[in-house]
Structure 1
Amino acid sequence: MSFKFCTNESAATHLRAILRGDVARIRGISSFPNSSEDAISYLAGVNDGQLQRPPGGSTVIARTEMTSALLAAGYSVIESDHPKYALARVFQDLLDIQAEAAVHPSAVIGPDVMIGDGVSIGPGSVLDGEIALGNRVRIGANNVITGKVVVEEFVRIRNGCVIGEDAYSFGFAPDGPGHGQSIRFPSRGRVVIESHAEIGNNCVISRGIEADTILRTWSRVNDLSHIGNTVELGQNSMVMANCDISARVRIGKGCWIAQSSAILQGISVGDGAQVGMGAVVTRDVPAGKVVTGVPARVHRDRLLD
């Protein structure tokens, strides 16, 4: 991986944090303890073990209580209460070399698609419908975006997703002639993906039948997950890999929906709640609670920093 160069001093200034120790160049990222010269790492907790002297120019982002020990071992220290987040910001804002914004020649763009400034669209992607892409949106390879879709600024959609297809909702024939037939019900809602959201690989997000399917700002959906029609995923909430969120589910702010869980139609998940791995949620989840199991039941309060 290639990096832009900066110094630990400029990184600390960017984070509005305090740098302790020597000014050093940052040429790459390392896990802790640092394994290469001029690299930056993070230390999430308190390390009570003996610290070895690191390679030259090593910087670590750590909590204030670790500063003295790290300085004695030979590190420069950027102090932060949230070291992992701080390192992610340094990478995103100062070190990451992003490809020049462009629409790949193999992408198919329909006549009604509106594209903002600095948008990237990868090879094999098809965008066809009433679609609006905000500034600096990044869309990977082999995505299909169709129907009515709004993608706000700084959204990242990775590879192989299908976004905006009609809801999987049917009208069924009554008993008698034609019994067993089903006809797909028309969808008239949109998919709205608010700013700074991120969609992982091979996700499916259906548009609403009447109202919109909405992913709020800074929300996250990981690989292979399905978001059904008219779902609302709250600000800063995360849906992990291989989850199934059924129609009309409401997920509040700051929630964590763990891997391979399923939430039945019409359920509400309160702000700050957590759904455990593999859980099947069949009733509303109170705010701030952790639910686990099949069917999911309240396990404990969610503990947050």
Structure 2
Amino acid sequence: MQSHSIRDIATALGAEAEGDLSLRVSGAAEPQAAKPDQLALAMDPRYADGLAKGGAKAAVVWPGADWRAMGLEAAIFAPRGRLAMAGLTTMIDPGPELPDGIHPMAVIDPSAEIGEGARIAPFVVIGAGVKIGARARIASHVSIAEGAQLGADALLLQGVRIGARVKIGARFIAQPGAVIGSDGFSFVTPEKSGVEEIRQTLGQREAIREQSWTRIHSLGAVLIGDDVEVGGNSCIDRGTIRDTVIGRGTKLDNLVHIGHNVQVGEDTLLCGQVGIAGSSKIGSRVVLAGQVGVNDNIFIGDDVICGGGTKVFTNAPAGRVLLGYPAVKMESHVEIQKYLRRLPRLAARVAALEKNAGPADETQA
């Protein structure tokens, strides 16, 4: 197992360190569970007690920590703990174990172009006209359909599916089971459907009649920029005519669904179980927390933040912070919840007033 000195780790993090900087560690652990050859992660004073329970000789600690009093031989100081974790985990993560070169049990169309240094595991299927960038790593049971392109240094983990004509930038990461480039969910009825009717009338229906659905095929593809990550079992649908687009640096959590024709900007964060309906436009640096739902054919401006479970039915201007169902400004949602909690008392007061009011008063009313 590869080990690193405290000096090397501190240099890689751009952080200050003290003590025995030649001390080597082979991994990281929580303070109370850390072994002597592991670096304890104690970036907050709340974790100090855990160091005494564990066996770590070195730790990442908060600025100003008295590391000697905590029994450590070396310490790395991290003003921003989670940022330090990002650098540290990048440094010590060994990554997936993939064989060098192309495994003989991979099936690759003769017309596919494989970049220099690519690693392709067994049971991978690569279709006609596919282009794989240099140093790409493709784990087992991945399929890449005809005409797709994958940028340099990409990583596709087990069971990823890349659809036809999908174009993906450099340093892309897809977790197991992700599907990119599936057909969009797009259907139409010969006559006006019940859905179309209630959209116009907001709930009123003239008559309920039988209807059948006719499929609209997806002729577009998916275009993904550099440094994008897609979580496990997430799905990104192809566009109907134009491409579905995911901008540079955007990150998708597990179980995220992006509908057909959706445009997502740069450096946007989409957390678990987010669903974005077709033809919506999401700006850059947007954060959609878990289980946020976005209606079709609307836009969410740059730098919008939506709290967990928010349902966005109308356009959201840039910089807005939203919460609730339906989405409102976060401060408005807090006020609404305060009033809702008061409703039982208010109802009791109204009932008491009505009881005390005589029949004559009711007649006057």
**Cα separation, 2, equivalents of 1:257 and 1:235:** 13
Map of 1:167 onto structure 2: 184
C-alpha change, 1:251 and 1:4, in structure 2 (3 Å) is farther
| Structure 1 unaligned blocks of 5 or more | none
Matched, 1:145 2:176: no
Matched, 1:202 2:219: no
**Cα separation, 2, equivalents of 1:233 and 1:69:** 46
Following superposition of structure 1 onto structure 2, how do residues 52-63 of structure 1 map, counting pairs within 5 Å?
52-53=51-52, 55-60=55-60, 62-63=61-62
Matched, 1:68 2:65: yes
> TM-score scaled to structure 2, two decimals?
0.73
- Is 2:28–2:34's contact at 8 Å kept on the other side of the alignment? no
Q: CA RMSD in A?
A: 2.5
**Cα separation, 2, equivalents of 1:34 and 1:69:** 20
Aligned-pair CA distance for 1:131 = 0.5
Aligned-pair CA distance for 1:192 = 1.8
Post-superposition Cα deviations, 1:169-213, rounded to whole Å, max 9, x if no partner, equal 2233137xxx83433223333212222211111111012223322
- Is 1:164–1:206's contact at 8 Å kept on the other side of the alignment? yes
- Is 1:4–1:97's contact at 8 Å kept on the other side of the alignment? no
**Percent of residue pairs bearing the same amino acid type:** 24
Map of 1:224 onto structure 2: 255
**Of 13, 17, 20, the match for 2:18:** 20
Q: Relative to total residues, which structure has the larger strand share, 1 or 2?
A: 1
Aligned-pair CA distance for 1:49 = 6.3
Aligned-pair CA distance for 1:124 = 2.2
- Is 1:8–1:59's contact at 8 Å kept on the other side of the alignment? no
Matched, 1:185 2:183: no
**Cα separation, 2, equivalents of 1:46 and 1:25:** 24
Aligned-pair CA distance for 1:97 = 4.4
Map of 1:264 onto structure 2: 295
**Cα separation, 1, equivalents of 2:50 and 2:154:** 42
- Is 2:311–2:326's contact at 8 Å kept on the other side of the alignment? yes
**Cα separation, 2, equivalents of 1:148 and 1:203:** 18
Map of 2:31 onto structure 1: 32
Aligned-pair CA distance for 1:115 = 0.9
**Cα separation, 1, equivalents of 2:49 and 2:120:** 51
| Structure 2 unaligned blocks of 5 or more | 101-118, 193-209, 333-365
Following superposition of structure 1 onto structure 2, how do residues 107-122 of structure 1 map, counting pairs within 5 Å?
107-122=124-139
Count of residue pairs the alignment pairs up: 293
- Is 2:265–2:284's contact at 8 Å kept on the other side of the alignment? yes
Aligned-pair CA distance for 1:69 = 2.4
- Is 1:7–1:25's contact at 8 Å kept on the other side of the alignment? yes
Q: Aligned partner of 2:28: which letter? A: I
**RCO comparison, higher one (Cα < 8 Å, 6+):** 1
Q: Aligned partner of 1:30: which letter? A: A
Moved more, 195-204 or 89-98: 89-98
C-alpha change, 1:206 and 1:56, in structure 2 (3 Å) is closer
- Is 1:41–1:87's contact at 8 Å kept on the other side of the alignment? no
> TM-score scaled to structure 1, two decimals?
0.86
**Cα separation, 2, equivalents of 1:157 and 1:148:** 17
Kindly report structure 1 stretches of 4+ aligned residues shifted beyond 6 Å: none
Post-superposition Cα deviations, 1:251-305, rounded to whole Å, max 9, x if no partner, equal 223322111221101232233322222221112233333312111111149xxxx
C-alpha change, 1:208 and 1:234, in structure 2 (3 Å) is same
- Is 1:132–1:151's contact at 8 Å kept on the other side of the alignment? yes
Map of 2:109 onto structure 1: none
**Cα separation, 1, equivalents of 2:91 and 2:34:** 23
Following superposition of structure 1 onto structure 2, how do residues 228-243 of structure 1 map, counting pairs within 5 Å?
228-243=259-274
Matched, 1:247 2:278: yes
